Amino acid sequence: MGIDLGTSNSCVAIWEDGRPVVVPNEWGEMTHASCVSFLEDGSVIVGNSAKQRIVLDPQHTVYSAKRLIGRFYFSEEVKKAQAICSYPIVEGPNNSVRVAIRDAVFTVPEVSAMVLKEMRAIVEQHTQQTVTKAVITVPAFFNDSQRQETKNAGRIAGLEVLRILNEPTAAALAYGFGQNLDQRVVIYDLGGGTFDVSILQIGQDIFEVLATAGDTYLGGDDFDDRIVQWIGTQVEQRLNYDIKSDLVSLQKVRDVSERAKIDLVESDRVTIHLPDLYFDANGSPVAFSTEITRPQFNQMVMDLVQRTFKVCDEAMQSARLTAVDIDGVILVGGPTRLPIIRNSVRHYFQREPNVEVDPDQVVALGAAIQAEALLDSATSTFLLDVTPQSLRLGTVGDYTEVIIEKNTAIPIDRTRTFVTAADNQERVKIKIYQGESRNASECEPLGEFEFSGLRQARRGEVKIEVTFEIDTDGIVNVYARDTETGQQASTTITLTGGMDEAAIAEAAARNAETKRADHA
């Protein structure tokens, strides 16, 4: 199966009768909210019915976990999420992020694993077969930690993760598979929480990514938030009430804001009505109504739209291309249905965007194609993807130097040789980062590697060759050997918030025990 594990919604597809198809759940729904609600009896509700529980049980219903995956607790992104999420986000060991639900504490991959488990259950119900192999998609701009933790989520859900695949690449695959195309296409992928743009050269069965760029903290949720803020200001002015102080009314406003955004796709103006925004001192419901027009909305989100085109500029420059070199533009993600996005894309690329693919399903379909291509020797498509961010090595004085530049084709490896600086030096420590700044503090730290058990010798005599490899999942592996003896040095990774093998096994056991609640 191919799983599009989204910030807001997820979708699952399988290969059936020689083509990829999206699998609906028992109620015929094609996409499922990436939402997990923990009930008192220890069971969970996942999907669209869990989403309704954000209002009913805000403390125990987790959403947008993808915004937290692979992040450090002290990062800006986690602080932003804490400000808007109604469930408790707490600090775990090694600067990691945890979600606290009643007496239990969950890692972020564990929460994502519950969404994956639901996708698996949907497929198993449909096919009446056990399904364990999956391709899971991630935003192209995801760094090593985010990819690694997504892969861990799959393992916790009891899946064999065949591949971590970039969402825009999956979309391109679904668009071009079996079409014998010879085209250069742009994938503009605005999801619930992330934005990616990838430029691909499609040559029949080859899908070569020329460049990719993205923002892992920009998505449809941010568009909703603008409406939420706008309503909040009006409520404050008219009723002198602060909705941010009340999780339940805030969530109600968030729900109507999201609905208003979706309705503005078809309508020029939308009435927003909240019959019981909150309850006054006497326990009587207080209602609130307002109207939003499309021009008003467009004005509110203009800067967000412009940010996406800054990212497009970056990708186009990296690929050394201009709009005239592009043969097609494909829109991916629900928010790309918005007229302001369609019009801006048309204007930027000077062409009509392709509307034949379903922006909510195309990524899962591509993932299913890739799963089939990996497992069946007869299906051949080749994804030549790139690494989205430069891999860097920490040097003295908090500086970094590039080891593998962004937009380099993967899989690839590079080596660096280190020489011992002291007599009988036993260990070498290196720090690696991802990002585009020479300053370490402006890059994302991936980990600290220590190579120990070095040969006893005078300084300068032991040369350690360190290999930095980026595999087909876009995941970084680092290993070292003594250049003279060829002996592998043992490696310890520290300074990573990621889960180790023991924690994954433990989480997998807990995941297997967790039951789906009978949601009526």
Partner 1 sequence: MDYTDPQYWPTLKNLAQTIDGLDYFQVLNLPQNASSGQIRTTYYQMARALHPDRFFHLPDEELKNSVSKIYRRITESYTILKDDQKRAQYSANINGPERMSKLRFNEESEREQKEKQREALEVAKTPQGKKMFNEAVAEYKKGNYDKALKNLQSALLFESGNEQLKAFKAEIEAKKAGG
Residue 395 in contact with partner 1, rule: CB under 8 A:
yes
Active site (annotated) includes residue 413: no
Closest to 275 measured CA to CA, from 290, 291, 286, 259: 286
Catalytic residue among 57, 110, 118, 189: 189
Among residues 118, 144, 149, 167, the one annotated as catalytic is 167
Amino acid (1-letter code) at residue 263: D
* Buried-exposed string 254-289: b where 16+ CB fall within 10 A, e elsewhere: bbbbbebbbbbeeeeebebebeebbeeeeeeeeebe
User: What is the rounded distance in angstroms from the CA atom of residue 20 to the CA atom of residue 503?
Assistant: 34
CA angle, 144 as apex, 138 and 145 as ends, to 5°? Answer: 90
Annotation marks residue 167 as catalytic: yes
Exactly one of 239, 374, 457, 493 binds partner 1 (CB under 8 A); which one?
374
Cα angle value 356/167/363 (rounded, 5°): 40
- What angle do helix axes 108-127 and 144-156 make, rounded to 10 degrees? 50
Asked if 411 interacts with partner 1 (CB under 8 A), we say yes
Catalytic (active site) residue 189? yes
Cβ proximity to partner 1: between 20 and 333 the closer is 20
Stretch that binds partner 1, among 37-45, 126-134, 251-259, 375-383 (CB under 8 A): 375-383
Window 178 to 207, contacts with partner 1 (CB under 8 A): 203, 205-206
Q: Contact region for partner 1 (CB under 8 A) — 24-32, 398-406, 449-457, 494-502?
A: 398-406
Quote the CA–CA distance of 79 and 131 in Å, as a whole number: 37
- Residue 471 designated active-site: no
Please name the residues in contact with 84: beta carbons below 8 A apart, sequence gap of 6 or more.
Answer: 225
Nearer to partner 1, 243 or 393 (CB): 393
SS3 at position 183: strand
Under 8 Å CB-to-CB from 199, ≥6 apart: which residues?
184, 185, 186, 187, 209, 210, 211, 212, 315, 316, 319, 321, 326
Closest approach, Cβ 415 to partner 1, in A, equals 7
3-state secondary structure 209-233: EEEEEEECCCCHHHHHHHHHHHHHH
399, 458, 509, 512: which one binds partner 1 (CB under 8 A) = 399
User: What's the rounded Cα separation, in Å, for the pair 487 and 304?
Assistant: 52
For residue 286, give the amino acid letter. Answer: V
**Span near partner 1 by CB under 8 A; candidates 89-97, 230-238, 260-268, 402-410:** 402-410
Please list every residue from 431 through 460 that binds partner 1, using CB under 8 A.
Answer: 438
Q: Tell me which stretch binds partner 1 (CB under 8 A): 91-99, 121-129, 188-196, 414-422.
A: 414-422
> Which C-beta is closer to partner 1: that of 117 or that of 151?
151
Does 77 contact partner 1 by CB under 8 A? no
> 205 to 224, contacts with partner 1 by CB under 8 A?
205-206, 208
Judged by CB under 8 A, the residue of 384, 457, 495, 517 near partner 1 is 384
Among 377, 485, 486, 502, the residue binding partner 1 under the rule CB under 8 A is: 377
- x/- letters, 469..498, toward partner 1 (CB under 8 A): x--x--------------------------
Catalytic entry in 51, 57, 66, 110: 66
Contact status: 397 vs partner 1 (CB under 8 A): yes
Residue 412 makes contact with partner 1 by CB under 8 A: yes
- Give the torsion through C-alpha atoms of 500, 195, 304, 392, to 10 deg: 60
DSSP one-letter code for 293: E
Token pair of 215, please? 């923002």
Residues with a known catalytic role: 4, 66, 167, 189
Residues lying near partner 1 in the complex (CB under 8 A): 162, 203, 205-206, 208, 373-377, 380, 382-384, 395-397, 399, 401-402, 405, 408-415, 418-419, 421, 438, 469, 472
